[in-house]
Structure 1
Amino acid sequence: MLLFTHPVCIRHSAGPGHPESPQRLATVLAALHALDELPLDWREAPRASREQLLRAHTPELVARILDVSIEHTLRIDDDTVMNADSPEAARHAAGAVCAAIDAVMAGDARRAFCAVRPPGHHATRAEAMGFCLINSVAVGAAHALEMHGLKRVAIIDFDVHHGNGSQDIFWDDPRVLYLSSHQSPLYPYSGNADETGAGNILNLPLPEGADGEFLRDVYRQHGLPALNAFRPELVLVSAGFDGHRLDPLAGLNLEAGDFAWLTLELMEIANRHAQGRLVSTLEGGYSLTALRDCSVAHVRALASAEMAAA
Structure 2
Amino acid sequence: MSTAIYTHPDCQRHEMGDWHPESPARLQAINDQLILAHISDLVEHRDGVRAQLSDIERNHSATAIGLVRDNVPSEGDYYPLDGDTLLNAHSYEAALAAAGSAVTATDAVIDGEISNAFCAIRPPGHHARPSEPMGFCLFNNVAIAAKHALDVRGLDRVAIVDFDVHHGNGTAESVANDPRILMVSFFQHPFYPYSDVESYTDTRVNVPVPARSKGDAVRQLVLDHWLPALHRQQPQMIFISAGFDAHREDDVGGMGLVEADYTWLTQQMMAVANQYGKGRIVSCLEGGYNLSSLGRSVAAHVKALAEL
Q: For this structure pair, what is the TM-score category when the shorter chain's length is used for normalisation?
A: over 0.9
* 5+ residue gaps, structure 2: none
SS in structure 2 at match of 1:137:
helix
How far apart are the structure 1 equivalents of 2:115 and 2:218? 26
1:6 aligns to what? 8
Preserved CA contact (<8 Å) 2:270 2:281: yes
How far apart are the structure 2 equivalents of 1:155 and 1:129? 19
Q: How does 1:241-280 map to 2 (within 5 A)?
A: 241-280=244-283
1:89 aligns to what? 94
Q: How does 1:71-82 map to 2 (within 5 A)?
A: 71=74, 72-82=77-87
Give the superposition deviation at 1:214: 0.7
1:214 aligns to what? 217
After superposing the two structures, state which structure 1 stretch, 226-235 or 30-39, moved more: 30-39
1:203 aligns with 2:201: no
* Code of the aligned partner of 2:234: R
1:23 aligns to what? 25
Preserved CA contact (<8 Å) 1:164 1:188: yes
1:119 aligns to what? 124
What RMSD over aligned residues (CA atoms) do the two structures have, in Å? 1.2
SS in structure 2 at match of 1:76:
strand
* Code of the aligned partner of 1:132: C
**Are residues 258 and 116 of structure 1, via their aligned partners in 2, closer, same or farther at CA, if it must alter by over 3 Å?**
same
Preserved CA contact (<8 Å) 1:191 1:205: no
1:100 aligns with 2:105: yes
Preserved CA contact (<8 Å) 1:60 1:126: yes
Name the TM-score, length of structure 1 as normaliser.
0.95
Question: Of 226, 230, 240, which aligns to 2:229?
Answer: 226
1:236 aligns to what? 239
How far apart are the structure 1 equivalents of 2:67 and 2:216? 43
How far apart are the structure 2 equivalents of 1:195 and 1:101? 27
How far apart are the structure 1 equivalents of 2:96 and 2:34? 22
Give the superposition deviation at 1:129: 0.4
SS in structure 1 at match of 2:134:
coil
2:141 aligns to what? 136
SS in structure 1 at match of 2:167:
coil
How far apart are the structure 2 equivalents of 1:294 and 1:80? 25
Deviations 1:243-284 (A, max 9, x none): 000111111011011011000000001000000000001000
SS in structure 2 at match of 1:204:
strand
How far apart are the structure 2 equivalents of 1:29 and 1:131? 21
* Code of the aligned partner of 1:213: D
Give the superposition deviation at 1:216: 0.6
* Code of the aligned partner of 1:94: A
How many correspondences in the alignment?
303
Name the TM-score, length of structure 2 as normaliser.
0.96
Q: What percent identity do the matched residue pairs reach?
A: 44
How far apart are the structure 2 equivalents of 1:5 and 1:155? 20
How far apart are the structure 2 equivalents of 1:58 and 1:69? 18
* 5+ residue gaps, structure 1: none
**Are residues 69 and 123 of structure 1, via their aligned partners in 2, closer, same or farther at CA, if it must alter by over 3 Å?**
closer
